[in-house]
Amino acid sequence: MKLQDAVILVTGGAHRVGKSISMTLAAEKARVAFTYNSSNEAAARTLAELQALGVDALAVRCDQSDQAQIHQTIEQTLKHFGRLDGLVNSASIWQDKPFLETTAEDWETTLAINTRGPFFFTQAAARVMLAREGGSIVNIVDGSAFTPVQMGVHHGISKTGLWMLTRSSALALAPKIRVNAVSPGPVLIPQGWSEERWQSLAESIPLKRLGTPEDVARAVVYLMKEDFITGQTICVDGGSTNMG
């Protein structure tokens, strides 16, 4: 798949890892649409930075727990660009909740955004891509999909669901659409962490260093381009998953 002039939709593409994915795709001369929910200022900055690279870009506000807004996002993307060639399901929520304090509302919110939202974005985008020459989809999971965690158990289960969605939709949508995933490791300091705690994490990683959002973005670009890979997950974590 050639990225130059391709139209790629990145959910949650206004900040953090999602922004790096948006910017890296733009550097490949792709035209980028991205969604945001409450990050208005970040969305405006990201849109301006994308346009400064000389590519056509679009920011769409979307709460992906609402299926109607997902369909509206696809419609707005098609209205602006006239086509859709790729999708990156990057939008996510993290709730740092102890097991015994996790509520039904926590479950509903997390699954709606981390698992159900990507499903319906994939479904809506696939209908558009299948009517044309096909496309490529990349989902962003994380290590909690493969390694048990004590905090945020519902988050890990939601990401395991997204990992299985990757494998299942790769089968369901072949041969015209490829679906893969990237699983980032420590590439951004978590909210509430001190810099000292963050830097000390490097010692537990086989490669003995922390990653960057750009590491993740390059893996996304690779999976977008390579047309003989589907149903696979690349762990961009310095070897951490291999220790599990």
CB 55 within 8 A of CB 27: no
Distance separating the N- and C-terminal Cα atoms of the chain:
33
Is 243's pLDDT higher than 70?
A: no
For the segment 26-45, the average pLDDT, to the nearest whole number, is 96
**For the segment 108-160, what is each residue's pLDDT rounded down to a tens digit?**
999 999 999 999 999 999 999 999 999 999 999 998 889 888 899 999 999 99
Q: Are strands 31-36 and 233-236 parallel, antiparallel or unpaired?
A: unpaired
- Yes or no: say if 210 and 186 are a contact pair by the CB < 8 Å rule: yes
pLDDT in tens, 216-240: 999 999 999 999 999 999 999 999 8
